[in-house]
Amino acid sequence: MSTNFFETDDMATVAEALAFIDACEGSTSPSINGNTSGSDSGDSPVPDKQLSDVSIDSKALKPKRKRRSKNPAGYSTRLLHRKKAEMQQLREEALQLEAKVENLRRTREVGVGALAAHATHLKSKAEFKWMEMAMIEFQRRQQSEDTNRKLRALVANQAKVDEALRGVVMKKSVLEVVDKQLGHTVEIVSSAPLSCSMEAASSSLWKELSTIRTYPDNTPNVMEKNFDQILRGHAGATPINGLQFMRKFDEADRVVLTRAYRMLLPTDGLQLRGNAWTIFSRSKTNPSEASDIHAFVQLYMEVQPGFSARPEDVEYVKDVAFETWTTKMRGHAQYLQEMLIEAALGAPEGASQLLLKSAC
């Protein structure tokens, strides 16, 4: 009954201890009996009968030892069995885990394709409408971007063409030549198309040239249509008194405005002369509503017969008066052309007024 209070390991320990004690007792008992018998046989005066009685009595008095069963097995044997059982269990668990890993691997390999197919199926069904709208918007945006790029390219190309055409049709060439009769001469040539009739353009220019007015922005020096003004240059200022003769010729296919300038300098014997021709002609593409303008200005210095002066004085007058007057006449020709273009287009007089201020 006492064994119920011990654990399995404790029972095994107790069993091993008892087995060790039995082994020790079994080995010592024969030697004791032998020594006793030897001593008794040699020296003991006790008779054999008495010895036999004593041995019989001792045998009768000695309790019988119960033979212990060899079961349960020894501690080491059971420990070995337990280790073997644990190893076997671990092997079985390892096999089971390997089988699960293989199953998961196969499931994963199959599941990737299944998930992709499932996602494709969901996109084709649940999100089909959204994807369709997104694709439509994407295509519209691409078309808008393509159109925007094309328009930008067209605008850039049109700007280049417009600049090139403007440079051709409004080209102003200033040539300095030496005429055999007039001497050192400056020629200004310009041309431009107008989006108005020949009659309207010529009337507008005639009114502009024939109207007498002052320019208040040019104070304190006032320039009138009689060309009384002061020419300022890098070397100084020169007052001049100008005379102008202007005439208009009306023809069937063109209108010609001619102007002759004579600028009187303080130095006697030197004069600034100028001739200008402005020709209006009908446009070949739209004769009734469009026209072309061509302007030609010729400027030179005239030396009166009998004039004698030092060369440095002549160069001074040339630098101060002639060069400054040439610059102003070129600006005035550009102003008249810009004014006609703006009047034909109905645009506000912005550029022409700036040119007028710079020319005056």
Considering all CA atoms of the chain, what is the largest pairwise distance in Å, rounded to the nearest integer? 202
pLDDT digits (tens, 9 = 90+) for 244-255: 888 888 888 888
Residue 145 corresponds to which tokens in the numbers above?
């971007």
pLDDT value of position 136? 86
- The confidence band for 150, taking pLDDT boundaries of 50, 70 and 90, is very high
Of the candidates 302, 360, 306, the residue with the CA atom closest to the CA atom of residue 334: 360
- The confidence band for 158, taking pLDDT boundaries of 50, 70 and 90, is confident
Bridge partners (DSSP) of residue 254 are 281
Residue 273 lies in a domain: yes
d(CA 353, CA 343): 12
Report which of residues 68 and 179 the model is more confident about.
Answer: 179
Contact 31/39 with Cβ under 8 angstroms?
Answer: no
Report which of residues 127 and 214 the model is more confident about.
Answer: 127
Report which of residues 69 and 290 the model is more confident about.
Answer: 290
- The confidence band for 185, taking pLDDT boundaries of 50, 70 and 90, is confident
Tokens 């070129």 map to which residue? 330
Contact 46/36 with Cβ under 8 angstroms?
Answer: no
Residue 265: strand, helix, or coil: coil
Element counts in the chain: helices (H) and strands (E): 8, 7
Residue 229 lies in a domain: yes
Contact 26/18 with Cβ under 8 angstroms?
Answer: no
> Given a cut of 50, is residue 297 above it in pLDDT?
yes
Query: β-pairing, 229-232 with 183-194?
Result: unpaired
**Span 351-358, average pLDDT:** 41
Per the structure, the complete domain to which residue 337 belongs is given by 176-359
Residue 340 lies in a domain: yes
Q: String of b and e for 313-346 (b: at least 16 CB within 10 Å)?
A: ebebbeebbbbbbbbbbbbbbbbbbbbbbbbbee
Residue 110 lies in a domain: no
Residue 305 lies in a domain: yes
Range of weakest confidence among 21-35, 40-54, 77-91, 196-210: 40-54
Beta strands in the chain (DSSP E): 173-179, 183-194, 229-232, 237-250, 254-264, 270-282, 291-303
pLDDT digits (tens, 9 = 90+) for 165-178: 766 655 555 555 55
- The confidence band for 38, taking pLDDT boundaries of 50, 70 and 90, is very low
**Span 194-206, average pLDDT:** 83
Range of weakest confidence among 29-38, 79-88, 126-135: 29-38
> Given a cut of 60, is residue 143 above it in pLDDT?
yes
> What is the number of structural domains in the chain?
1
- The confidence band for 9, taking pLDDT boundaries of 50, 70 and 90, is low
Residue 319 lies in a domain: yes
**Span 126-153, average pLDDT:** 84
Q: Give percent of the chain with pLDDT exceeding 70.
A: 54
Kindly report the CATH number assigned to the domain that includes residue 295: 3.30.530
Residue 338 lies in a domain: yes
Residue 252 lies in a domain: yes
Whole-angstrom CA distances from 110 to 98, 115, 255 are 18, 9, 94
Range of weakest confidence among 20-29, 70-79, 250-259: 20-29
- The confidence band for 115, taking pLDDT boundaries of 50, 70 and 90, is low
> Given a cut of 80, is residue 284 above it in pLDDT?
yes
In terms of pTM, does the model score above 0.85?
Answer: no
Q: How high is the mean pLDDT of the chain?
A: 70
